[in-house]
Amino acid sequence: MPKPLNLPFDPIARAAQSWEEHWGPCPPMAAITSIMRAQQILLAEVDALLKPYGLTFARYEALVLLTFSRDGALPLSKIGERLMVHPTSVTNTIDRLERVDLVARRPNPRDGRGTLATITDEGRAIVERATADLMAHDFGLGVYNDEQCAEIFRVLLPLRVDAGDFKESAETGEEH
């Protein structure tokens, strides 16, 4: 879990005030700084929960993705696409999971040159236990209720759509 800073003031609010005095008001600066700090806090908390399983959040996400796949296997390119990461990151993640027998590689029967990452029985067991721990701790978002979590998702959705993460669809429920 992240070490509390216990500052006698909010450093982001102070930075926003200083920014305004120097360059004028800029709510986006305070927002981005808050988002980046929240990301640090959440990543530290989630990584602490996953550490006993020998996982990072990136490795956990890969295992979950394989768990959700029909056969427990996906091409490495599909893993990168779904997790929105560079192919080198996928290779590194799968290499590490393979070293600890949570994933195995096998040839892709649909593509003679391609490789599938396949979750092992041990990988399935680990992801189930790790997921139970993450859910018990609300993925680090326990200070928010379910409605607030849904609102966070909703507020960040236009940013992800604008970045081209995915095409607008009925799935998002949003019109842009």
DSSP 21-84: HHH---HHHHHHHHHHHHHHHHHHHHHHHHGGGT--HHHHHHHHHHHHSTTSEEEHHHHHHHHT
Q: Which CATH number fits domain 11-162: 1.10.8.870, 3.30.70.260, 1.10.10.10, 3.50.50.60?
A: 1.10.10.10
Q: Which residues make beta-bridge pairs with 119?
A: 103
Q: State whether the Cα torsion 29-26-142-62 is positive or negative.
A: negative
Please give the pLDDT value at position 26. 95
Residue with tokens 């993450």: 134
* Rounded Cα distance, 88 and 98, in Å: 15
The pLDDT, as a whole number, for residue 172 is 53
Given the structure tokens 């070490």, which residue do they identify? Answer: 3
Locus of tokens 């006993």 = 52
SS3 state at 108: strand
What is the model's pLDDT at position 105?
95
How far is the C-alpha of 141 from the C-alpha of 128, rounded, in Å? 20
- Regions of the chain where pLDDT drops below 70: 1-2, 169-176
CA angle (128, 126, 93) in 5-degree steps: 115
pLDDT attached to residue 34: 96
Under DSSP, the state recorded for 169 is -
